[in-house]
A and B are shown apart, each in its own frame.
Chain A
């Protein structure tokens, strides 16, 4: 496997302080490798977006990072901890090294500015010495790259369709050639035809420009198709991480299995599906032990009391996968 570009180590994120704090992300460790698409799946409230905002230090108050490290490996320099950067360094780091495409990106464009202004704004902020001419040229080039005709430079966001606005957002994220692009539900508001076009284009761009992607969504079937590895979150923790095809064919955690069984298939035999009983947990009142145990069909003695540790399972073919479940205890748990 190629070298890591972003390493999250034991990250904890809380909302609020003191006794009433809600633990949204608990002890998450995750590694993104160079050139890889890492899928992050989970339901609403599982902490997947909080994790993305936490590692880019974009958390709005009352969100607080209470522990852990986010180690970034630049292409040439030595690695450093993003969480320890000074404000000035952080401003340089953001967008140039990691860019983020937000949830509902269609509404993240400023409606009173032309898209050319919004595209060149980034360049002006990060490279004040750049001439206006070359800024515009770069913006044009970017639009062409994401499949929008450059003569739409002077359009306002409302003159573009949802899919085009989403393309502009992706182009904007890539304009400084970041190493890491975080996409938070980039296509949920779009129709399936548009979704496929945009994702197909993104994969193509990734091959050409060589950035890595953290792709956050609740649509697991989309992730299986488009990502290399998948991490599944539940109740603020990662419960399983494995290569995409392994998750699809042989998921170990009952929650992953349940999620996969929640999508009716378009092809193949028609099966009776059940989804997962119960509802996602409330972060303020998280169940003890494994937070999935009240909904888990296979829960047994240790589940309500002890939190399972994420580790390579001892019983299955453990190549490159980890799981946090007492059914498949990690090696060091024994």
Chain B
């Protein structure tokens, strides 16, 4: 966890982590691609995988999070959990050294998000090298004490 005092602190953290993959409300999914395509496009483009290979990898990740039902939906049809899952998997499939989940309250406004984050990250634990959650200090009481 990285607790932020204000927006300036957030900007400093992001600036200090240029190599991190950001999961943020400010980085939306491509609206005219399905969830599966949004995730698959990363290995398809970066590793020059065929669409079938990339889609298989993306499907396997969606299955881990139990989100295969939304694989063929596009962004406007997604609820916040599905949209967050798609954004997180888009980051995970690129195998970055660090993933930053930026202000989860913005990404998951309709649920009690700390337990959801914990559950999702546990299911992807073997695929994530390092993950940091950036949240404001005033949201700290929402998280369970460790």
Does B associate with A?
Answer: no
Residues on B facing A (Cβ under 8 Å): none
